[in-house]
């Protein structure tokens, strides 16, 4: 399908462009036609594809789990309930292992993070051209189907988690306790500007590293899928080789998407555990 | 990589999803899991208890059997003893009765002998008187010689 584009560069660019809705330079509202135009729209624009896919996947997750929850029996579980219970027991044991305080919110939060991130990552396994091509048939110019390759999505989650960390840090240790944790260690008190700088950077690094790790992994994975897809335009031999490569990378990617979802969840739990801990 | 309002939209969506999960998904499933865990634990405990009770019942049954055997033995021994006793008693009673009857018979015989002797003595006296009368006829007065006759009777 790369033949529809003037160059491979254009093909790649097109695949990496979100469907952005915002205000054009001339004051009208609409879909941005290209990366420059999307950037020019500033902050008050929205990536319609990211929002739609992430909300759709989140709703799918909640719908499935809610269905299992409503029908949850204490008898022998079957089918969906079995799967849901398996996931929940896995999350529960992970939370019990890493989170040593009492907070009814952490386990459901971890479950949501894991399942949502996993489902968003899983969109990466759909061949890169299917959905964008179908969309272009329907008149939609851009479509990026993997929401976790959009930094807005990963930062939206990691910043929410960061605010939870701040909230629980202040709630558990008090504002003074939280400040002293940042200012009076690891060096003696008179060096508190150094401490504050070090700990402050460490604190800020949490949400940024959390979001960038997921984004980077998924973006790179998506990029490789796109590069492999480029081979389909290079003759039969290259296309066949590309097919093998795509299959191999998809198999490997199953590991990556699960691992990234698990890492995101585990770090969320660990950060919240640190926020609850009385001593550093 | 340009940031826009998607960031806010994602945050809101995320918070809503977490809230929904915390409210409607996690508790019912956890409840079901906990309840099932409890049920299984209870079932296992009940199984253990049943096994224990079975052992106790078997022990008790064996004990009862042993008791019953002992009791039966005692009853048999007692019955044997009683039988021997009854036989002994019957022997003694029979012996006593025999002796009593023997004594009575001997007494009877003695009585009869006496009576026969008395009547013989009377008859002999009467015969002697009759003989003497016949011999003496007139001379002999029954009244005068009654004393003599009595003496004779006593000597017989």
Write the pLDDT tens digit of every residue in B25-45: 999 999 988 999 999 999 999
Question: For residue A42, is it left (φ>0), alpha (ψ between -120 and 50) or beta?
Answer: left
Token output for A21: 């809705």
Q: Is residue A189 over pLDDT 90?
A: no
B51: closest CA of chain A, how far (Å): 24
Cβ contact A88–B30 (<8 Å): yes
pLDDT at B142: 66
Q: How many CB pairs lie under 8 A apart between chains A and B? A: 120
Q: Is residue A1 over pLDDT 50?
A: no
| A266-270 mean pLDDT | 95
pLDDT at B53: 96
Expressed as residue numbers, the domain containing B32 is 6-155
Mean pLDDT across chain A: 88
Cβ contact B30–A92 (<8 Å): yes
Query: Percentage of chain A surpassing pLDDT 70?
Result: 97
pLDDT at A5: 66
SS3 content of chain B, % helix, strand, coil (to 5): 90, 0, 10
pLDDT at A75: 77
Question: For residue A33, is it left (φ>0), alpha (ψ between -120 and 50) or beta?
Answer: beta
Interchain CB contact of A143 with B (< 8 Å)? no
pLDDT tens-digit map of A58-70? 999 999 999 988 8
pLDDT at B140: 58
pLDDT tens-digit map of A84-106? 989 999 999 999 999 988 888 99
Q: B1 lies in a domain? A: no
- What stretches of chain A show up as alpha helix (H) in DSSP? 8-15, 35-40, 48-70, 79-98, 106-122, 130-137, 151-183, 192-230, 236-276
pLDDT at B1: 60
| Confidence label for A39 from pLDDT (cuts 50, 70 and 90) | confident
Number of domains composing chain B: 1
pLDDT at A34: 79
Question: For residue A29, is it left (φ>0), alpha (ψ between -120 and 50) or beta?
Answer: beta
| A227-231 mean pLDDT | 88
pLDDT at A191: 83
- Chain B residue whose CA is closest to A57: B17
Euclidean distance between CA atoms A108 and B30, whole angstroms: 10
Cβ contact B11–A50 (<8 Å): no
Interchain CB contact of A169 with B (< 8 Å)? no
Catalytic residue among A54, A148, A195, A217: A217
Q: B90 lies in a domain? A: yes
pLDDT tens-digit map of A121-158? 999 888 888 888 888 888 888 888 899 999 999 999 99
| Confidence label for B107 from pLDDT (cuts 50, 70 and 90) | very high
pLDDT tens-digit map of B128-156? 888 888 887 766 566 767 777 788 778 77
| Confidence label for A35 from pLDDT (cuts 50, 70 and 90) | confident
Q: Is residue B113 over pLDDT 50?
A: yes
Active site residue A213: yes
Top-confidence residue, A43 or B95: B95
Q: Is A221 helix (H, G, I), strand (E, B) or coil?
A: helix
Q: B79 lies in a domain? A: yes
Say if the ipTM goes beyond 0.85.
yes
Residues 6+ apart with CB under 8 A from A41: A20, A22, A23, A24, A32, B4
Interchain CB contact of B32 with A (< 8 Å)? yes
Top-confidence residue, A66 or A75: A66
Query: What's the Cα-to-Cα distance from A191 to each of A177, A188, A204, A205, A279, rounded to whole Å?
Result: 17, 6, 20, 21, 19
């Amino acid at each position: 399908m790369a033949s529809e584009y003037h160059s491979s560069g254009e093909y790649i660019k097109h695949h990496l462009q979100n469907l952005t809705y915002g205000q054009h330079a001339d004051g009208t509202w609409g879909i941005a036609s290209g990366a420059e135009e999307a950037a020019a729209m500033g902050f008050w624009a929205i990536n319609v594809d990211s929002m739609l896919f992430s909300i759709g996947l989140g709703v799918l997750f909640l719908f499935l789990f809610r269905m299992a929850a409503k029908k949850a029996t204490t008898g022998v579980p079957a089918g969906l309930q079995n799967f849901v219970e398996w996931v929940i027991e896995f999350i529960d044991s992970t939370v019990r292992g890493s989170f040593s305080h009492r907070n009814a919110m952490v386990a459901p939060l971890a479950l949501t993070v894991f399942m949502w991130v996993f489902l968003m990552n899983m969109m990466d396994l759909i061949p890169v051209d299917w959905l964008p091509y179908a969309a272009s048939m329907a008149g939609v110019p851009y479509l990026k189907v993997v929401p976790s390759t959009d930094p807005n999505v990963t930062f939206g989650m990691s910043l929410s988690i960061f605010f939870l960390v701040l909230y629980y840090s202040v709630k558990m240790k008090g504002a003074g306790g939280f400040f002293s944790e940042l200012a009076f260690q690891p060096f003696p008190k008179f060096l508190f500007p150094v401490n504050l700088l070090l700990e402050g950077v460490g604190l800020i690094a949490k949400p940024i590293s959390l979001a960038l790790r997921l984004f980077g992994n998924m973006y790179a994975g998506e990029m490789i899928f796109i590069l492999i897809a480029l081979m389909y335009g290079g003759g039969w031999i290259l296309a066949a080789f590309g097919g093998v490569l795509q299959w191999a990378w998809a198999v490997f990617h199953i590991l990556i998407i699960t691992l990234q979802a698990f890492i995101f969840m585990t770090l969320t739990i660990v950060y919240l555990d640190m926020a609850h801990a009385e001593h550093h | 990589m340009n940031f826009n309002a998607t960031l806010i939209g994602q945050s809101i969506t995320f918070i809503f999803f977490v809230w929904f999960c915390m409210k409607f998904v996690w508790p019912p499933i956890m409840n079901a899991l906990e309840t099932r865990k409890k049920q299984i634990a209870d079932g296992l405990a009940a199984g253990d208890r049943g096994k224990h009770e079975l052992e106790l019942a078997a022990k008790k049954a064996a004990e009862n059997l042993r008791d019953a055997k002992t009791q039966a033995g005692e009853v048999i021994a007692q019955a044997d003893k009683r039988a021997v006793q009854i036989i002994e008693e019957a022997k003694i009673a029979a012996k006593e009765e025999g002796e009593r009857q023997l004594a009575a018979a001997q007494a009877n015989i003695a009585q009869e002998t006496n009576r026969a002797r008395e009547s013989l003595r009377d008859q002999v006296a009467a015969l002697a008187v009759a003989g003497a009368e016949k011999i003496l006829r007139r001379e002999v007065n029954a009244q005068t010689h009654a004393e003599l006759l009595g003496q004779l009777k006593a000597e017989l």
